[in-house]
Amino acid sequence: MLSRRQFIQMAVVAGAAAAIPPVFESFRQAAGADTEAAFFLTPQRWATCQALCSRIVPTGSDPATDPGATEAHAVAFIDRFLAAFELPSSVADNPPIWVTGNFSGRNPTSRDGYATSDFPPDAFLSDSGTGHFLGLTPTQEVSWRLQLYGPDYLKTLPPWVSEKWASQIASLIPVAYPQGLRQLYDDGLDAFDSWSKSTFGTTFAGASPEEQDAMLAVAGNVVLSNVWTNVPLPTPPAPPAAASELVPAITLHTFQATYGLPEYAWLNQVDDPAYVERLGGTAQWRAIAYDGDTEPLGNSLFDPNMYGPGEGPNEGFGMEGVYVPFGGYREFRPVSTLGDSGTVLSAADAEIVKQAIVEARSKK
């Protein structure tokens, strides 16, 4: 038997679906969202980078339902991040470190317990393809320029920066990427290419997926890559240091591009309907049963006419003579109950998950 609350939840799901307008009314290619335009990487390095990203998160047999880093435009994400301080204002109003604005426009507003048909505009990326990012404070700019340009930047520090601080950077204050991310990418991408040529006789981009996977696993010291398939990978010789050094960074950036807000790769709902849709988030998020950004709708909807279990009309909360807010919640997407999305883990899956977690912890 359904409780009143469960019944209401079921009713809400139906009601909310009806209240949401048809999606994909109009799609336009945003002018500035030409994600093939390179701002930092040379064509050769772009190709190598693209090939690496596509093996870090590979595309499945159906790119629409099982996309990878390619569909997420990871290489554009990386290129523009590396050129953060050199992008034209038509592409980004500030360095693409932190998007700014509240909402992506993938979720509507709500009112009185129901989703409305009012989808706010994408605050992070305009229709013309300009990304909206937070302006950096002077210290944030120093920090991110140092991260991107490395020691070269120390020669062009603003006059207000302490010389003593600058002199301590190299020896006492370690930064995450000592040579700077731009140099790290240039050297690392070149190293993957030369390693591939000497090992497999072709550029990294020209190597087979199995050869690429093998190089990535060896360079990244990844130990369980064939854990599900048990298919042995080729065994390339020891990688150049620059290739190994690039792996943590390019892996992180590929994940950020693939599993983070698509606007960091200049994608939103108006320029790739196969990848991004309203309320459904990105295809990448759907593939892992994740919502992505949910505001302003959120997952629960406040309804002034409804009360939670055991609450009554807010009976007992607050004291006499004092303003008592009242109302209750509908769960638009299940929060307190099981839903129908996601994957049930089998015992075999659980063993692999456990093995991976234990292995990852032991590598620290």
Partner 1 sequence: MTRAIVVGSGISGATVARVLARNGYEVVVLEKGRNMFAGLGGSNAAVTNLFSNDEVGWESRTAPINQDPVTEPRSFRSDPSEGDRVFVGDVNDLPTTVGGGTLHYDAKFRRYREVDFVANSLMGGTADSPAIPGTTYADWPMTYQQLEPFYAVSEEVTGTQGPARMRDGRVYNPNPYESPRSTPFAMPPGVQQLNSLLPAESARRLGYHPAPVPTSIVSRPYRDRPPCNDCGFCLDYGCTINAKSSGVWPLNDALRTGRVQLLSGANAVEILYSRGPNGRFKAQGVRYLDPEGHPGTLAGDLVVLANTPIEATRLSLLSGIAPAQPNPSATSGSETEPSGLLGRNLMFHYQTATITIVDQPIHSFRGRTSTQTLDAFAGSGPGPDQFDPTVPMAGLLEIGGNLNPVTEAEYFASVLSGEAHKQMMALGPFVDHLCTFTMQGQDMPQLTNYVDLDPAIVDVWGQPIPRVTYKNHPYELAAAAYYAPKMVEIMENIGGPGSAYPTIRPLFVLQLGPGLPSVLETPAGAQVQENVVNNFPLSDVPASAHIMGTHRMALDRDHGVCDPYGRYWAFDNLYCAGGALQPTAPGYNVSLTFQALSYWVAAAIVGGVGGQDSYTPLEVGSNMSTLVSVLKSTDPDTMIAHVV
Tokens found for residue 351: 């063993």
Q: Which of residues 80-109 bind partner 1 (CB under 8 A)?
A: 97-104
127 versus 311: smaller Cβ distance to partner 1: 311
Q: Which of residues 116-135 bind partner 1 (CB under 8 A)?
A: 123-124, 134
Instruction: Determine the Cα–Cα distance for residues 126 and 139; give it in Å rounded to an integer.
Output: 28
Size of the residue set binding partner 1 (CB under 8 A): 126
How far from the centroid of its chain's Cα atoms is residue 129's Cα? 18
Residue 39 CB, nearest approach to partner 1 (Å): 19
Q: Which of residues 288-327 bind partner 1 (CB under 8 A)?
A: 288-302, 304, 308, 311, 314-319, 321-322, 324-327
Q: Taking contact as CB under 8 A, which single stretch among the options 39-47, 194-202, 225-233, 269-277 is the one that binds partner 1? A: 225-233
Smallest Cα–Cα separation from 287: which of 63, 36, 25, 37?
Answer: 63
Q: Is 215 helix (H, G, I), strand (E, B) or coil?
A: helix
Q: Which of 227, 238, 241, 274 binds partner 1 (CB under 8 A)?
A: 227
Q: Which of residues 39-78 bind partner 1 (CB under 8 A)?
A: 55-58, 60, 68
- Any residues with CB less than 8 A from the CB of 203 and at least 6 apart, and which? 44, 47, 48, 193, 196, 197
What are the distances in angstroms from CA 209 to CA 48, 50, 206, 212, 353? Answer: 13, 13, 9, 5, 25
How far from the centroid of its chain's Cα atoms is residue 70's Cα? 13
Instruction: Determine the Cα–Cα distance for residues 95 and 93; give it in Å rounded to an integer.
Output: 7
Instruction: Determine the Cα–Cα distance for residues 354 and 76; give it in Å rounded to an integer.
Output: 34
Q: Taking contact as CB under 8 A, which single stretch among the options 27-35, 82-90, 199-207, 328-336 is the one that binds partner 1? A: 328-336
Q: Which of residues 173-202 bind partner 1 (CB under 8 A)?
A: 173-177
Q: Taking contact as CB under 8 A, which single stretch among the options 29-37, 40-48, 189-197, 353-361 is the one that binds partner 1? A: 353-361
Tokens found for residue 35: 């994600």
Residue 34 CB, nearest approach to partner 1 (Å): 21
Q: Taking contact as CB under 8 A, which single stretch among the options 14-22, 32-40, 82-90, 355-363 is the one that binds partner 1? A: 355-363
43 versus 159: smaller Cβ distance to partner 1: 159
Instruction: Determine the Cα–Cα distance for residues 109 and 301; give it in Å rounded to an integer.
Output: 10
Mask of contacts with partner 1, 158-177, x by CB under 8 A? x-xxxxxx--xx--xxxxxx
Q: Taking contact as CB under 8 A, which single stretch among the options 34-42, 190-198, 236-244, 246-254 is the one that binds partner 1? A: 246-254
